[in-house]
Amino acid sequence: MPEIQQVAPHAVYVPRRGEVNAWDNALFVKTVRETGKKTLIIAGVWTNVCVMFPALDAKAEGYNVYVVIDASGDPSELASRTTLARFTQAGVIPTSTNAVTCELHRTWNRPDAAQLAELYCMASPSYQAVMESFNKAQEVEDAKQTNNGPKTTRSTTPALAAQSR
């Protein structure tokens, strides 16, 4: 996927030779182990196959495994529900794209905040309304401060301000 290579040129592509379960590919498992990481975040084409099989195997080998439920799909709602139950019974942690993004980003006080805001809008187009509302509230507060004396210190969200201008 060229998009992954663009934003993560360090990412390693591991070809598979037909294995349904990526964890059955020795090079895949070796590559995961060589990262030295003990927490995996997994998504795939089908949650009940592409995600479930390696997630359960990695969990059995002692990894902390998060599965991004809304970044994968299933052929039916029943398949998704059954898979979710199996994950939770095995100790695999279901999560969402938004939760992963927020957990990794942690704060708006960072230089790449505007790019993160773009990512939020891609994942959730209605997030643009949140940014517009925030910016309008900041404009109103700034106008009050200008008309009523010196500004007070307040929390800002630079990404939201930068994104909507």
Write out the catalytic residue numbers.
50
Residue 22 to residue 50: CA distance in whole angstroms: 8
Whether residue 26 contacts residue 46, with contact meaning beta carbons closer than 8 Å, is answered with no
Residue 96 to residue 141: CA distance in whole angstroms: 34
Maximal C-alpha separation, the chain: 69
Helices (H), the chain: 2-7, 26-34, 52-60, 77-90, 97-105, 113-123, 127-147, 158-164
Radius of gyration of the chain (CA): 21
